[in-house]
Structures are given as C-alpha cells and as structure tokens.
Amino acid sequence: MLRRLTVQTLGFVAAMAALLFAPAGTLDWPGAWAFIAEMVVASVLIGAWLARRDPALLRERTAGLFRPGQARADKALMAVFLALTIAWLPVMALDAARFRVSHMPVWLQVVGALGVGLCFYLAFVTFRANTYAAAAVRVQAERGHRVVTEGPYAIVRHPMYAGALFYFIGTPLLLGSWWGLAFAPPFIVLLAARAVMEERVLTAALDGYPAYAARVRYRLIPYTW
C-alpha cells in the first residue's frame, strides 16, 4: 500500500509540475516551487499518518477517483473537475511566468501559501474524524459505513470541501496569477453541486443521515450555506 501511495504521489506531483513548468517555459518560478513543496510535504505527512492510523481509508483514497458503485453524477462531476484543473494550471503558468501579465504582491503570495496549507490541514482533520472520507461518492457498505458527526462534522457537513475553497483561492495567489482566480467561481460551483449530489446519495442509502443534516444546517460555510 505504501508503494502504491508513493507511486501515486510521485506521479501526481510530476504531472502538476509538468502542467506548470512546461507552459511557463522556465524553472525560475519561486511560487510554483513553493506550491510543489507544499503538495509534496502535505501528501507525505498525511499519507504516512493514514498508513499508520487508518490503512483502510488510505486504501480507499488511493483506489482512484472512479469506483464501482459510484454515483454516475459524481463520475461526471469529477471528470469536469479534472478537465478544469488540467486547463487551470497552464493558464496560471502562462499568466504568471511566461508572459508575466499578473503582478502579485509578495504578501498576497504568502496568504496564498497559508490558504493551501489550511486546505491540507482541514483535509487531515477530516480524515482523523471520518474513516469513510473516500474520494468517490458511494456508500461503503463493505466497511460498515455510518454517519460521522464528530470533529469538523459538528460544524459543517462537508469539511473537506470547505477546505478546498482555500485551495482554489490560495493556489492562484501563491502562483502569482490573477487569471487563475477567475477559475475559482466555477470550481466552487462544482464543489457546491457535488455536496448537494452527495447528500442525495447519503440521504437515500445511509441510515441516520437525514437526522444529521437537519441538525447540522450548513454544508460548507458556517452561518452562510
């Protein structure tokens, strides 16, 4: 399992680096190196923690984005997410590194780095509370799937999605691309759509979820939505 995690992490980081540095046309891009470093460190630390404390969740997370029993709507949403990300990274590279259209203050890049770090921290907190936090939306009957109400789930129903909001805003700030921020609204709309779709699946198939949703009112942002 650790071998698969290592291979997937290296492959993911290599793909991200290629999508950034190839269109940038240069390796002299400190923001991109900082972003890659954050991705590597966070992935290694969280992966090592899961391998030790929750190998079942690690197996589920490394099984892929598309799984048997996964809702069709979720497969479609994840395909759109993937396509949008593949477009997003090169656009930021062209903007911030090759043509240098955007001029981002250093302090905002630091804010972006903190946002990306906060995203990974919220992901870790979510994994610590919920062993069923899979990448694919499906009810994991084979693992005794139950409703989780502890930790961040006592505040919002989708804490990891809430953390992703910081990623979609923090990444273009860290990379120094104003153009990249234009992708944040579509990403957020897709996240919101996935949250609603996931709740329909869980409400229909997971005992206790309707009562939990009635008790915890907010999906992503406390006191807002």
Distance CA(198)–CA(74), nearest Å, equals: 8
- Give the residues of the chain that fall short of pLDDT 50: none
pLDDT of residue 159: 98
Give 152-182 pLDDT, tens digit per residue. Answer: 999 999 999 999 999 999 999 999 999 999 9
**Annotation: CATH topology of 2-215:** Four Helix Bundle (Hemerythrin (Met), subunit A) (1.20.120)
Task: Count CA within 13 A, CB hemisphere, residue 79.
Answer: 8
pLDDT tens, residue by residue, 50-78: 999 999 999 999 887 888 878 888 999 99
Could you give the CA distance from residue 42 to residue 47 in angstroms, rounded to a whole number? 8
What confidence score (pLDDT) does residue 63 get? 84
Q: Where do the structural domains in the chain lie, given as residue ranges?
A: 2-215
Maximum separation of any 2 CA atoms in the chain, in Å? 53
pLDDT score at 3: 72
* pLDDT score for 1: 66
Q: Residue 29's closest CA among 117, 116, 100, 101? A: 100
**pTM for this prediction:** 0.94
190, 80 contact by CB (below 8 A): yes
End-to-end CA distance of the chain: 37
